[in-house]
Structure 1
Amino acid sequence: MAKVIGPRLYSCCHCRNHVALHDDVISKSFQGRHGRAFLFSRAMNIKVGPKEDRQLMTGLHTVADVHCSDCHEILGWKYERAYEETQKYKEGKFILEKSRIVMENL
């Protein structure tokens, strides 16, 4: 069995730009616009769009779409503000949709 060299990470499925580390996955049981999504504590090589209020399955949140910094594909969103107390843990975290990212260094 080959050993993994370097960190396991996630890349944009379109251009393979590295966007998140596997170690920063908080949860794999989130729902995105296009199916399953992962909650990350951090993301990299991304651009954060303008903030907007969105009614999500867990209530009203202020979010900003997250784009790949290379190809500009929308990968998910960043939680800027949660209005419900039980959702505050999401603030500052990132949703990346499983269909928009690919795991590297498997």
Structure 2
Amino acid sequence: MADWMIGPRLCNCYKCGNMVCRHDDIISKIFQASHGRAFLFTHVQNVVDGPEEDRQLITGVHTLTDVYCSDCGELLGWRYIKAYEEL
């Protein structure tokens, strides 16, 4: 880290710059979404959840909610609510 940086590194909305989490909240950078690379976070802020819905993903059926920037409304990704295991 450069000497001139003070405080935590932040992740922002790519459209408006609204802060959505600290860099330390990233758990993994190896997820692959349908539109490219995806990150998994422990905590986010300044976001709004859409309605919950079940979706079929590569890893099975999951209940998800889309996550939007609270400032500009841009779709940022989704939040896992529940995972279903196949019997």
TM-score (norm 2): 0.91
Q: Which AA in structure 1 matches 2:74?
A: E
* Partners of 1:78 and 1:37 in 2: CA distance: 12
What pairs up with 1:60-71 in 2 under 5 angstroms? 60-71=61-72
Higher CA-based Rg: 2
Structure 2, unaligned runs of 5 or more: none
* Partners of 1:33 and 1:8 in 2: CA distance: 27
Q: Quote how far apart the aligned CAs of 1:32 are.
A: 1.9
After superposition, what is the alpha-carbon deviation per residue over 1:15-59, rounded to whole angstroms, capped at 9, x for unaligned?
A: 000011111111000012310000001111000110000001111
* Partners of 2:19 and 2:33 in 1: CA distance: 20
Q: SS at the partner of 1:14?
A: coil
TM-score (norm 1): 0.76
1:17 aligns with 2:18: yes
Q: Quote how far apart the aligned CAs of 1:84 are.
A: 2.2
Which one has the bigger helix percentage? 1
Q: Which AA in structure 1 matches 2:30?
A: S
User: What does residue 80 of structure 1 align with?
Assistant: 81
Query: RMSD in angstroms over aligned alpha carbons?
Result: 1.3
* Partners of 2:21 and 2:35 in 1: CA distance: 19
Q: Percent identical across equivalent pairs?
A: 60
User: What does residue 52 of structure 2 align with?
Assistant: 51
Structure 1, unaligned runs of 5 or more: 86-106
After superposition, what is the alpha-carbon deviation per residue over 1:60-93, rounded to whole angstroms, capped at 9, x for unaligned?
A: 00000000000000000000000128xxxxxxxx
Higher relative CO (Cα under 8 Å, sequence separation at least 6) belongs to 1
Q: Which AA in structure 2 matches 1:42?
A: H
